[in-house]
Amino acid sequence: MFTFKLLQYKYRRKLYFCFMLISGVFCTMIFYSKNVTLTTTCAMIAKFSIACTYAIIRLYSSEYFPENLRKNYLTKCSIMARTGSVIAPFIIALGDYFIKPLPFLIFGCCCFISALTTLFLPRIQKENIRKQEVRIDLNQQLIQNNWLDGQDIELEKTDNNIDSLDEIEIKEIN
């Protein structure tokens, strides 16, 4: 609930970046902490931040991918997430063989890397998403009807909201 309230006021990319950064900082702090209370507090804050990023990334990825490709891409993202959940226990086992808080340092570094790569993601705007969906639908229709031989097209909006394929003008890109 907390995340969804924040999503009404801030951009998804910024929130994801902030929560991943918070999680990375607190996971890294666990590596250097000797106090049990501080370690537990840092772990709970990091866990809360990761839970928030999970809600944000599900929403962001469902908005980022076009509607006709969304199911396939979300499945691929889910497979990669499950791969990570299979690998995570082995990283935790490193703490038994090496330094006890080593897994938290590894997870913290992964959070930092994820936060930095988030800065390269595009900002989602509803108009751009709808235009992208219509463009893909139109390209597929033209290719199916053999009107477009592997060429790409450019769309011009007639108004701010594209509701159907009739409301756009088609220009061929040279």
Q: Is residue 106 located within the same domain as residue 137?
A: no
CB distance 158 to 167 below 8 Å = yes
More confident site: 160 or 46:
46
pLDDT confidence of residue 157: 44
The residue range of the domain holding 23 is 2-118
pLDDT confidence of residue 116: 92
Q: Is residue 104 located within the same domain as residue 61?
A: yes
- Is residue 86 very low, low, confident or very high in pLDDT (cuts 50, 70, 90)? very high
CB distance 77 to 61 below 8 Å = yes
Number of structural domains in the chain: 2
Question: What's the distance, CA 66 to chain centroid?
Answer: 14
Q: Is residue 103 located within the same domain as residue 154?
A: no
More confident site: 106 or 11:
106
More confident site: 157 or 135:
135
Residue 163 has pLDDT above 50, yes or no: no
Q: Is residue 39 located within the same domain as residue 18?
A: yes
Q: Is residue 56 located within the same domain as residue 137?
A: no
Residue 76 has pLDDT above 70, yes or no: yes
Q: Is residue 23 located within the same domain as residue 62?
A: yes
Q: Which residue matches tokens 């992208």?
A: 132
Q: Is residue 96 located within the same domain as residue 147?
A: no
Q: Is residue 82 located within the same domain as residue 162?
A: no
Question: What's the distance, CA 113 to chain centroid?
Answer: 13
Element (H, E) at 169: strand 168-172
Q: Is residue 74 located within the same domain as residue 153?
A: no
